[in-house]
Amino acid sequence: MPRLCLISLEAHPQLVKGLVQELAAQELAVELHNFPDGEHYVRLEGECKDAIVILVVGMRNPDQVLLPLIFLADLLHEMGASKVVLVAPYLAYMRQDIRFKPGEAVSSRSFAAVLSAHIDGLITVDPHLHRYHALSEIYQVPALALSSTELMADWIKAHINMPVLVGPDAESMQWVQAIASVADLPYTVLHKIRRGDRDVEVSMPELDRWRDHTPVLIDDIISSGHTLLETLHHLRSLALPQAVCVAVHGIFAGEAYDLLRGFGVRDLVTSNSLQHPSNVLDLTPVLTRGIRSWVKEYVNEFS
Ligand code: R5P
């Protein structure tokens, strides 16, 4: 394995610590500062000559992290890094994957183009691939989409007695089906209509066959929380056992977390792709394997 350095930008400290240990990487510190006018100052502490640098970035606030990320990636290249690999456990801007209304920017494409111009590779977990089927449709660097399905399935099997999986919309189908198949569980997937950021309508689940089962809501992203809230609302009216929510990426915008907790969910579980009190699923092993395989596959090819 070539020399690996790792830099964290807003990443979960537990994840960073785990990756540094598992990959025997050298963690490099970065000084970040905002000038009085808001412009970003970035300074690398340490050296990265000939190293593969893994930039682990938490993208809960992608607009705030994008410019420091770009400045840092360019700096690392200038300082002699052999490769700069972006590890974004949660990859932002994937949901605007089509022009839903005339005149809308397809921001996923622009975001991907900007990042691709500054990095040599991308590794992420469960990106929101819905209308795109692969990251290569928009990212111009070798990109790896890892899966947290097995982690989610293992957690559900270990903690929930008689679960039935509930996907709130067609987009959740891929995760629901994958978990159901790994853990051999029943599932249903609902239909969602989104009218606005916090205005969604979800179809009524038909769970008559599983009245004594615990509903486990599965989604890739919790943002405003309204997709899950609407689904929980229906479940409450069906008088099933208390529901559990499992999602890969917990953005929890605004008061989403409090609203969901206030609904009386039994457990609210996310991965540590974004730092949050709901983090239970540790992505360290998934990312460690992913980084090793990216390096094995692409470093020799390019050197
Ligand atoms: C989109 O369909 C995603 O899979 C999620 O369902 C969505 O991002 C959740 O957003 P919110 O929490 O704002 O309803």
Tell me: the pLDDT tens digits for 73-98? Answer: 999 999 999 999 999 999 999 999 99
Could you tell me which residues are beta bridge partners of residue 31? 43
Residues 6+ apart with CB under 8 A from 54: 4, 5, 6, 7, 19, 23, 25, 85, 87, 291
**How far from 38 is each of 33, 60, 67, 227, CA to CA, in Å?**
9, 19, 12, 34
**pLDDT bucket at 302, cuts 50 / 70 / 90:** low
The reported pLDDT for the residue numbered 264 is: 85
Distance (Å, rounded) from C-alpha 238 to C-alpha 133?
Answer: 35
Question: What are the structure tokens assigned to 160, written together?
Answer: 């929930």
Closest ligand 1 atom, CA of 226? 14
What amino acid occupies position 180?
A
Distance from the alpha carbon of residue 124 to the mean position of ligand 1, in angstroms: 18
The reported pLDDT for the residue numbered 301 is: 61
The pLDDT tens digits for 25-81 are: 999 999 999 999 999 999 999 999 999 999 999 999 999 999 999 999 999 999 999
Structural domains in the chain? 4-147+283-299 (3.40.50.2020), 149-281 (3.40.50.2020)
Enclosing H/E stretch for 152: helix 149-159
Sign, Cα dihedral of 129, 106, 252, 191: negative
Substitution candidate for ligand 1 out of 221, 233, 260 with most atoms within 8 A of CB: 221
Question: What are the structure tokens assigned to 285, written together?
Answer: 């092993």
**pLDDT bucket at 2, cuts 50 / 70 / 90:** confident
Substitution candidate for ligand 1 out of 227, 248, 251, 276 with most atoms within 8 A of CB: 227
The reported pLDDT for the residue numbered 239 is: 87
